[in-house]
Chains A and B, each alone.
Chain A
Amino acid sequence: MDTLHDRLAELADDAPTGGAPAAELWARGKRAYRLRAAALAATLLVVGAVGTGVGVGLVDGGGNGSDLAPAGTVGISLPIEYPVGEELPDLGDTPGPSAAIWLAPGVGGGAPVAVGLVAETGTFGTLPIEVSYMNEDWERPALSPDGRRIAYASPSGEPIVHDLVSGEIYYWPEVECPGDVNQCYRWGTGGFTWFDATHLFGHAGAGDTHGYVWEPGTTPKLVDLITYAGTPYRGLYAGRDLQVIDDGEPLDLVCGSPVLNATLGTDYQGDDEMFDVPVLCDVLGVIGSEILLGHWNSDRVPGDWNDPNDGNGTVVALGIHSVAPPVNCLGDASRICPDLSFEDPALRRVVVTAGAPEWVTFATDLIGAALDADGGAS
């Protein structure tokens, strides 16, 4: 037993041999698919409905028992030019809704800071949240679509929500456990997804079936994400494993896969056609059902599409509804299938210019409103 391969193979001999029958797995997969399809369709309807109301001003989360957000216009314009290298003011506890927040290196190589863009004024500044321990992509804070609330995990995994309008901070050091201790997880350590302005989701429990849902004025409650009505069900990356509907099926956008790529669009009927969507491998936000935000990687180097350090901070809005599949790439596992349709300027809008930090999260409703003000993005 000299090589690592040999030692691993010997260790693998201890692997279990059991498992549920294939028929049961098939049935469960079909059931999960049906439920996800229904939930995702509901999600897109709700997101679309919320998006239509944002263009006239900032909206409150609604029905949450906390302070109302002040009405006002979206003071940002696109593209956003991040103030690289500038010393930024402290925005305090109640700066108002943010259009975006970045995790940025401190000036002079200091500890990382959270930088917010105040939606009403267009002012950049530092936010009062601790981010120095956030080293992984999934640890970045989640900004609600209306820009009012930031969700993130403490260093030990407890969820924290900071309300940028009221200054309230919500914190849950203890969560209920769904029985078996092996099924009990803290819900902050897997990242967060804001389904809408007032519903925060975090995964918990074994696999991807359990999660917590929180809305202002309530305590977090454990739910089955498969069956919970309204679940966004976008995967464990806090919204970054995007699913889109194709011919009635929700599909993962799998990046760089040599086998399965994604089919985009809600009306495309060619089930057998698949194609790469390289720039979408780092999905930063979803606006309605037709616009995605992502880093623009013009190099399109295989394997680097998901690397937050690869790129120069440029963020683009991509209209996906009218994207046409270029070619069928399924037959060649080694190829990189170019999707030239994304080169069409009509389908690509620059949201953030080059030079901004890579780690960014957007208030998608507010960015959507700014896109509308600039003439739409799709």
Chain B
Amino acid sequence: MTGYADFEEFVVARRHALLRTAYLLTGDHHDAEDLVQSALIKVVPKWARIKDRPEGYVRQVLARESVNRWRGRRWREVTTDVVPETMHHDSTDRIALLEDLRRLSPQQRAVLVLRYFDDLTEADTAAALGISVGTVKSHVRDALARLRNQRSDEERSAATT
């Protein structure tokens, strides 16, 4: 296994960008750091093969890992009858978007992040997640619809209080 210098160079240069994507995928600082770290560790055995163009593969591992992890932890999501009091305006747009993203399924969230943050094509998004282009399209459609509905609900709720 060779190429540590290349690996280190990549980590130094690209870790922050990976953390940004990971934060959108997880919505949590600790999880984002853990996700990036896990992805980087996973690619080490393959580094000799990908070192010329590692970014795509690392991001693929990152995206798939984020979806896989959720599979084992969905029990942590808690439903509640209590409506959050937080209302979203421009100043709290980040919080609102973060909450909206958290309400999406992990795969919907991953598709949305890869398409609209990392600017991958539908085909590249499909390849990164190991799903079909059709599934990417349907996830995008459903995710955008859910985001729109969530914001509409919030705005209605704000208007009545």
Q: Which A residues are closer than 8 A to B by beta carbons?
A: 1, 4-5, 7-20, 22-23, 25-26, 28-30, 32-33, 36, 136, 138, 156-157, 182, 185-187, 189-191, 203-204, 206-208, 236-237, 249-252, 254-260, 271-272, 274, 281, 301-307, 309-310, 330, 333
Q: Which of B21, B37, B93, B97 contacts A25 (CB 8 A)?
A: B37
- The CA-CA distance from A310 to B113 in the complex, in Å, is 25
Contact B72 A203 (CB under 8 A): yes
The distance from the CB of A29 to the nearest CB of chain B, in whole angstroms, is 2
* CB closest residue in chain B, given A9: B117
Besides A136-B71, A303-B123, A307-B135, 5 more A-B contacts (Cβ < 8 Å) are: A22-B7, A254-B60, A302-B133, A303-B136, A307-B134
Q: Which of B12-20, B79-87, B153-161 lies at the interface with chain A?
A: B12-20
Contact A304 B24 (CB under 8 A): no
The distance from the CB of A225 to the nearest CB of chain B, in whole angstroms, is 12
Contacts of A156 in B (CB 8 A): 75
The distance from the CB of B73 to the nearest CB of chain A, in whole angstroms, is 5
Q: Which of A7, A190, A281 contacts B97 (CB 8 A)?
A: A7
Closest 3 CB pairs of A and B: A29-B44, A303-B126, A15-B23
Within 8 A of A (CB), among B23-48: 23-24, 29-30, 32-34, 36-38, 40-48
Most buried by B among A1, A12, A138, A252: A12
Decide yes or no: A256 and B73 within 8 Å by CB, A8-B97, A8-B117 being known contacts.
no
* CB closest residue in chain A, given B11: A22
The distance from the CB of A238 to the nearest CB of chain B, in whole angstroms, is 10
Q: How large is the interface on B (under 10, 10 to 19, 20 to 34, 35 or more residues)?
A: 35 or more
Contact B37 A259 (CB under 8 A): no
Contact A258 B41 (CB under 8 A): no
Q: Which B residues are closer than 8 A to A by beta carbons?
A: 1, 4, 7-8, 11-12, 15-16, 19-24, 29-30, 32-34, 36-38, 40-50, 52-54, 56-57, 60, 65, 68-69, 71-75, 90, 93-94, 97-98, 101, 112-113, 116-117, 119, 123-124, 126-128, 130-136, 144, 147
Q: Which of A22, A187, A254, A309 contacts B8 (CB 8 A)?
A: A22
- The CA-CA distance from A30 to B11 in the complex, in Å, is 16
Q: Which of B49, B73, B98 contacts A274 (CB 8 A)?
A: B49
Contact A303 B131 (CB under 8 A): yes
Contacts of A252 in B (CB 8 A): 46
Contacts of B126 in A (CB 8 A): 256, 302-303
Decide yes or no: A189 and B71 within 8 Å by CB, A11-B97, A26-B8, A33-B1 being known contacts.
yes
Contact A191 B71 (CB under 8 A): yes
Contacts of A207 in B (CB 8 A): 34, 38, 65, 69
* CB closest residue in chain A, given B72: A190
Contacts of B1 in A (CB 8 A): 30, 33
Contact A10 B127 (CB under 8 A): no
Contact A5 B119 (CB under 8 A): yes
